[in-house]
Amino acid sequence: MTTSTVLRRGNTGKAGNKGLFDGHIRTGDEVTLDGLTDKAFQKQFTAEFAPAGIDTSSTFDVDGADVEMDFAVYAEGTSYFATSGDDSAEVFIYEGRLSSPQASIAAALREKQMEHLRALKKRLPAEQHAAVDVEIDAVTARQPLIADDWFPEEPITLASDAVDQRFLYGDKPFSPPEGAESMFVSDKKVFYDTHLHSGYLAEIVVGEDEPDPENEEQTARFRGLADAVLTKENVEKVQDHIKKTYGLLFDDSDEWGTPLMVRAEVPVKKGGRMATLEWANEQIADGFDRFKQDVENEVLQEEIADLLGYERDQDDINHFIPKPASEL
Q: What is the DSSP-derived secondary structure letter of residue 174?
A: -
pLDDT per residue of the chain (328 residues) written in tens, 0 to 9: 443 333 333 343 434 444 434 444 445 455 555 555 555 544 454 445 444 444 555 788 888 888 888 889 999 999 999 988 888 999 999 999 999 999 999 999 999 999 999 999 999 999 999 999 999 999 999 999 999 999 999 999 999 999 999 999 999 999 999 999 999 999 999 999 999 999 999 999 998 888 888 888 999 999 999 999 999 999 999 999 999 999 999 998 777 888 999 999 999 999 999 999 999 999 999 999 999 999 999 999 999 999 998 877 666 666 677 876 445 4
Bridge partners (DSSP) listed for residue 260: 196
Model pLDDT, residue 274: 96
Instruction: Compute CA 164 distance to the chain's CA centroid, rounded to the nearest angstrom.
Output: 15
CA distance 124 to 49: 49
Model pLDDT, residue 166: 97
CA distance 155 to 146: 10
Model pLDDT, residue 261: 96
Q: Return the SS3 of 98.
A: coil
Give 176-181's long-range contacts (Cβ < 8 A, gap of 24+): 176/281, 176/288, 177/281, 177/284, 177/285, 177/288, 177/289, 178/285, 178/288, 178/289, 178/292, 179/285, 179/287, 179/288, 179/289, 179/290, 179/291, 179/292, 179/293, 180/264, 180/284, 180/288
Model pLDDT, residue 9: 34
